[in-house]
Amino acid sequence: MILAELKGKLSSKLDDKEDILTSNTFSFFKYSDRQLLKEYLCQLGVNVTVSESNSAEFIFWPIYDDGTEPDLVIICGKYYLLFEAKLYSDFSPKTLSTDSQIEREIKMGMMAAKNANKEFIYIALTADYNKDKNKFIKYESKDYLFIWTNWQMIASLLSMKITESRLIRDKEFAFDLYSLLVKKKLRCYNGLLDLKLQYDVEFNDSIYYSYKTSKYKGEFSGFLASLDAFEEIKPYQKQIHKYFFRDLIPFNYNIKERVFYDGK
């Protein structure tokens, strides 16, 4: 499905579907080296072992008793991880008859986690570059862990892993998924820290324009060249006396009592 989408073989009606992106992305974590799943969860703040990630269970689109259907549940170690992924759409709001999508998923997810004797964690996955605190703050609780993340974080992880020489078996799989995320404009800006120069750069002592050696000269080059005919102004060499002011007391002045303007 990743290659079909990369080659533009999917219908335009399916191209922006978050379910397909969820399937492509988390199928990668399911079928590739589970070390990658471990590293991804650790970046989310969920610390698991390699053994726990190897035995992790993926449940795509489970349906709870009330009809609520989250995108993905991963049972890994002691954790019950519920993912709700969004691409261009938003979470369903609360109505007169039903709670909001997040509220329903938290309620049913906590019940399922309790029945499985696991710790419940809710993970909201969006395409936003930054967390909207006003949107999610009401869902944060001491009874469970609420995590916001984005697709760009997955793209960064894949980009880092692609450059590692030890990632051999799943390198092409990772590259195709990374290319898909880039195509969907879900690659984050990493700054200039990873910038690498491929060529040796020669640094000069001076970086200023020289009208004498430049091949293409501006309109004022003739004016600049004419300045060579004048003698260079040199710094003043004579000693400057420091005493410029004298005491006014020795001088006799006729000082008037009134110094303001008199209009009479």
Question: Would you write out the chain's pLDDT as a tens digit for each of its 264 residues?
Answer: 788 887 877 776 665 688 999 999 999 999 999 999 999 999 999 999 999 999 999 999 999 999 999 999 999 999 999 999 999 899 999 999 999 999 999 999 999 999 999 999 999 999 999 999 899 999 998 999 999 999 999 999 999 888 876 666 788 999 999 999 999 999 877 665 555 656 666 766 666 666 566 665 555 556 666 667 777 777 777 766 555 556 656 656 565 566 666 665
Instruction: Express each pLDDT in 14-73 by its tens digit.
Output: 656 889 999 999 999 999 999 999 999 999 999 999 999 999 999 999 999 999 999 999
| Per-residue pLDDT at 178 | 94
This prediction has a pTM of 0.71
Residue 162, both tokens: 């692609």
Q: Is there a domain that residue 264 lies in?
A: no
8: phi > 0 → left, psi -120 to 50 → alpha, else beta; which? left
Residue 69 CA to residue 112 CA, distance in Å, equals 13
Q: Is there a domain that residue 208 lies in?
A: no
Q: Is there a domain that residue 66 lies in?
A: yes
165: phi > 0 → left, psi -120 to 50 → alpha, else beta; which? alpha
Q: Is there a domain that residue 50 lies in?
A: yes
Q: Is there a domain that residue 15 lies in?
A: yes
Number of structural domains the chain divides into: 1
Give the residue numbers spanning the domain of 85. 2-183
Q: Is there a domain that residue 244 lies in?
A: no
Q: Is there a domain that residue 254 lies in?
A: no
Q: Is there a domain that residue 196 lies in?
A: no
Show contacts of 209-216: CB within 8 Å, 24+ apart: none
Structural contact between residues 124 and 109, judged by C-beta atoms closer than 8 angstroms: no
Exposed (0-12), middle (13-18) or buried (19+): which is 182, by Cβ within 10 Å? middle
